[in-house]
Structure 1
């Protein structure tokens, strides 16, 4: 088997990613940067051909990424994992193309990343945010309040909320049909606060926004009568958070996190929350239980007479 130079093989791999895989320019640039780092590391170790790379070289490269040296700053676990993923992809390509007989990177695993807990808002902050969105002023404030009440009252993803059509609402039965990831549909209950906000918007504001030129069955409309975009919905939330004096980053998913966390805090079963959120696996939902356990520890530490000396 020919001793293919590493630099040339990497160029072949990058061409494969660009032409056959059709990766976006930014993604391709990231791969190129990470593989240059890998190539430079191997060059320092006097490894010139792809067939000369060993599993130990790959493992040592990962350790180098995490530990750094006098010339290179140590990378965080996510950054090191991303760089190793690029190297592992290169070695899979080399095996598939017959450049090597074995994949020496197959057994080298990316570093585990710390589990990030969802950042839920306290109930009081959510209430302040909703009040801020509906502050008297314009007709669009009524729409904005209905939108945010909908997000928090149903746990809908932002794409599900702006994708709602009138026929998806059944406010007489206090429920709504949401279309989630992978085309999965679910019917979820709508609380009285969200239902009242929706009725007010649908009866007094939406008719004034409807345009014959951009006729649509969308629930949430922009000022021109078209369907409200995800970006515009995000802007609504950002403005409301600012008006409520919330000094941390708030995204549409923050309301979804808050919905799940507050349900679990109130005693809801994790399986029920899984169905309400539209998670395919309960494992995804269980991350929210970690948030509530932290809160339970806090309450226990301050309330139980034997919690601490």
Structure 2
């Protein structure tokens, strides 16, 4: 499975949530976080990793057709069973590597298609024409992460429908403090899949700054766990009759998480897209993430 994570403005915690999601994924699946950020990666600096292997070394061997299993030899381990393929710090090198690794024959896609693997592509900020757009087109799910202050939402509103059309299945994830979730849903006319609470203590575990022995707890871990169980199929979605009136009618909800009002750590889940029939998936407000 290939899950792409990206933002359209600032740094709402894409890399942090990618690591938290991978850490929460079922342990019987081999998990790898790949830094596909065209602006350059942070993981090597955060965790004191070696410069190689990583995205550059993988791109070098992938210029020729290779077996997808070559991906694993270019990953480095983090504590907890996650593997990462760190990107170079420089944007020029990162974009050069992505030009090779985002082609249709990429070994990354070959690994992601296997039921025994889960790949989390940290695509960073998606500027128009980003070299990470090809990853999103191949992804099973796009988690579009946004802050909820007015300036961040203004940028999101200009691109959310475009990016929704680009992805097979697009889900909006809000992060941190700012406007309430129900207001964002009402203004954009699309459902929110999850709200990541402001949780700097738990985030330290995914930035390489946590004190030794400190436990990874808090709202970030709880939200990542519920999203992981849902996307991996461990927790089936169930329709909820208590979805607020202003929310789209096809919103579904994870059992046990209240829908009214949406809590900071509440999770709602979009169903898989219906077979294409030439019509958009209309919401209660007449808008859609794909329209």
More strand by share: 2
| TM-score, reference length from structure 2 | 0.24
Instruction: Pick the structure with greater CA Rg.
Output: 1
| TM-score, reference length from structure 1 | 0.23
More helix by share: 1
